[in-house]
């Protein structure tokens, strides 16, 4: 058949306006340069260097061999939902009904998407403390929402200024998106600040989305979850997962806990867009919750050792560096070298072949900082830090 061709119009004009609005990830752009450089030591990667503990990996393999290769219930395997509910109760003290208030997702990434999709209408505002994980703003924008950033400062140890947060609320504000322990700063929020945020959410009728993916990786004090505050639990969407705590980034498994009126909506979206999280990963996750506590503790104690080392080294090199309370990142201020984070990162890469992430990719208020991940071997860390010390000595 011969097609009758009308005047050609560009198919590129068909791209959605929302997707055109979001910039490509600043981290990716930077790491395209890094990948082309042999001998580069990278402190840029935001995932555990450990491989998944063997008992969890074995359970995944058994699941395949035993034929657990089908769809699971949309919400997730009932045994896993029950274990997740117990786990959340252990971490935060909050109880969620496994049959109604838990959904197993493809990582916290999908959990975040479902949470936002269930509440954001076009033009709605979502408040996000900055510096923040790079995906948050883009996820809000993709839905036609508006991310409203609340900057925090090194001087305030990146804790939220409650008055500042309050003053950004408008009639269009739908939610506040929290992430503690934080990527990129590693800081956490004290209970008093969480209470202040809860009070605001109640007064202004807002949802709180709490991404607690680093909750197992805290080093000095027990993690505090906002969902532990009973007054606010009916408006919290709690997100967590296995990527960071159990070194399972590639398994793509996370979960949501929220009141039924929200999970009912999120489950509808999940049913139509994903059906269910991967069955094999769900079987592995059952083992992760049941029997891998010691494995997690070992990783946490190694991260603590590395954190103490890297913070000490940055301070020796003359950079101001807070002691992060969780996650596996440090966020030193490099302005004493006369450079901003971006110039510092580019010069360091050129002259010493060490890759770090410029702080500006996490928000304007991170522009004098760099993010360094200590989810890498002690050998790599020590090589990177001696190169950084040499670099800083030349600059100051």
Ligand X SMILES: Cc1ncc(COP(=O)(O)O)c(C=O)c1O
CA–CA distance, 280 with 273 (Å, rounded to integer) = 19
Q: Which CB, 179 or 185, lies closer to ligand X?
A: 179
How far apart (Å, rounded) are the C-alpha atoms in residues 88 and 92? Answer: 6
**Shortest distance, position 170 Cβ to ligand X, whole Å:** 25
Smallest gap from Cβ 263 to ligand X, in A, equals 18
Rank residues 257 and 317 by Cβ distance to ligand X and give the closer one.
257
Closer to ligand X by CB, 53 or 313: give it.
Answer: 53
Choose between 249 and 380: whose C-beta lies nearer to ligand X: 249
Query: How far, CA to CA in Å, does 103 sit from each of 45, 98, 267, 277, 311?
Result: 28, 8, 7, 9, 38
Element (H, E) at 149: strand 146-151
Q: Treating both helix axes as pointing N-terminal to C-terminal, what angle do 107-119 and 135-142 enclose, rounded to 10 degrees?
A: 40
The answer to whether 240 and 88 are in contact (CB under 8 A) is yes
Closest approach, Cβ 338 to ligand X, in A, equals 30
Query: Which residue number, 111 or 332, has a Cβ lying nearer to ligand X?
Result: 111
- Distance of closest approach, residue 260 Cβ to ligand X, in angstroms: 23
CB closer to ligand X, 197 vs 317: 197
Would you tell me which residues interact with ligand X (CB under 6 A)? 46, 107-109, 133, 179, 183, 211, 213, 241, 243, 249, 254
Distance CA 337, CA 318 (A): 9
What is the C-alpha to C-alpha distance for residues 79 and 350, in angstroms, rounded to an integer?
A: 51
CB contact at 8 A, 103 and 266: yes
Position with the least CB separation from ligand X: 107
Q: Name residues whose C-beta falls within 8 Å of residue 232's C-beta, 6 or more positions apart in sequence.
A: 198, 201, 202, 208, 226
Q: Are 180 and 159 in contact (CB under 8 A)?
A: no
**Cβ at position 165, least distance to ligand X in Å:** 19
> Of 139, 73, 102, which Cα lies nearest the Cα of 262?
102
Shortest CB 370 distance to ligand X, Å: 16
The helix (H) or strand (E) run that includes residue 329 is strand 329-330
Judged by CB, which is closer to ligand X: 241, or 326? Answer: 241
The set of residues, in sequence order, having a beta carbon less than 8 Å from that of 272 and lying 6+ positions away, is: none
Query: Nearer Cβ to ligand X, position 101 or 211?
Result: 211
Residue of 255, 215, 217 whose CA lies nearest to 238: 255
**CB of 77: closest distance to ligand X in angstroms?**
18
At its nearest, how many Å lie between ligand X and the CB of residue 154? 19
What is the Cα–Cα distance from 254 to 106, expressed in whole angstroms? 6
CB of 244 or CB of 313, closer to ligand X: 244
Q: Which of 253, 249, 241, 177 is nearest to 214 (CA)?
A: 241
CB closer to ligand X, 243 vs 376: 243
Cα–Cα distance for residue pair 285/351, rounded to 1 Å = 43
249 vs 386, beta carbon nearer ligand X: 249
**Least distance to ligand X from the beta carbon of 17, Å?**
26
Our measurement of the distance from residue 259's CA atom to the centroid of its chain's CA atoms, rounded to an integer in Å, reads 22
Instruction: Please say whether the beta carbons of 281 and 288 come within 8 A.
Output: no
| Distance in Å, CB of 129 to ligand X, minimum | 12
Residue 285 beta carbon to ligand X: minimum distance, rounded to whole angstroms: 12
């Amino acid at each position: 058949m011969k097609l009758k061709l009308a005047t050609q119009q560009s198919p590129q004009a068909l791209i959605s306006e929302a997707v055109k609005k979001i910039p490509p990830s600043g981290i990716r752009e930077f790491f395209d340069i890094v990948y082309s450089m042999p001998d580069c030591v990278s402190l840029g990667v935001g995932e555990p260097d450990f491989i998944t503990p063997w008992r969890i990996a074995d359970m995944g393999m058994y699941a395949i061999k035993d034929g657990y290769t089908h769809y699971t219930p949309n919400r997730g395997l009932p045994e896993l939902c029950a274990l997740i509910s117990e786990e959340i109760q252990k971490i935060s003290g909050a109880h969620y009904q496994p049959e109604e208030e838990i959904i197993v997702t493809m990582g916290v990434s999908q959990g975040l998407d479902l949470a936002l999709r269930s509440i954001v209408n076009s033009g709605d505002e979502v408040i996000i403390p900055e510096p923040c994980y790079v995906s948050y703003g883009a996820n809000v924008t993709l839905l036609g929402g508006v991310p409203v950033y609340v900057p925090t400062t090194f001087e305030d140890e990146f804790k939220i200024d409650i008055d500042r947060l309050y003053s950004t609320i408008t009639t269009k504000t739908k939610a506040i998106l929290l992430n503690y322990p934080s990527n990129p700063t590693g800081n956490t929020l004290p209970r008093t600040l969480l209470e202040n945020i809860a009070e605001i959410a109640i007064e202004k009728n807002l949802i709180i989305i709490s991404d607690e993916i680093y909750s197992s990786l805290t080093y000095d004090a027990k993690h505090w979850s906002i969902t532990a505050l009973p007054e606010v639990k009916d408006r919290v969407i709690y997100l967590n997962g296995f990527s960071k705590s159990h070194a399972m980034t590639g398994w793509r498994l996370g979960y949501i806990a929220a009141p039924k009126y929200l999970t009912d909506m999120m489950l509808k979206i999940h049913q139509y867009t994903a059906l269910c999280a991967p069955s094999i990963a769900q079987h592995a996750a059952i083992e992760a919750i049941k029997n891998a506590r010691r494995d997690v503790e070992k990783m946490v104690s190694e991260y603590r050792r590395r954190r103490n080392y890297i913070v000490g080294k940055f301070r020796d090199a003359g950079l101001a560096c807070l002691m992060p309370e969780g996650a596996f990142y440090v966020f030193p201020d490099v302005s004493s070298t006369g450079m901003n984070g971006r110039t510092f990162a580019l010069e360091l890469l050129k002259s010493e072949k060490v890759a770090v992430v410029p702080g500006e990719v996490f928000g304007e208020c991170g522009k004098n900082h760099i993010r360094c991940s200590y989810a890498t071997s002690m050998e790599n860390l020590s090589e990177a830090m001696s190169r950084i010390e040499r670099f800083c000595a030349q600059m100051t």
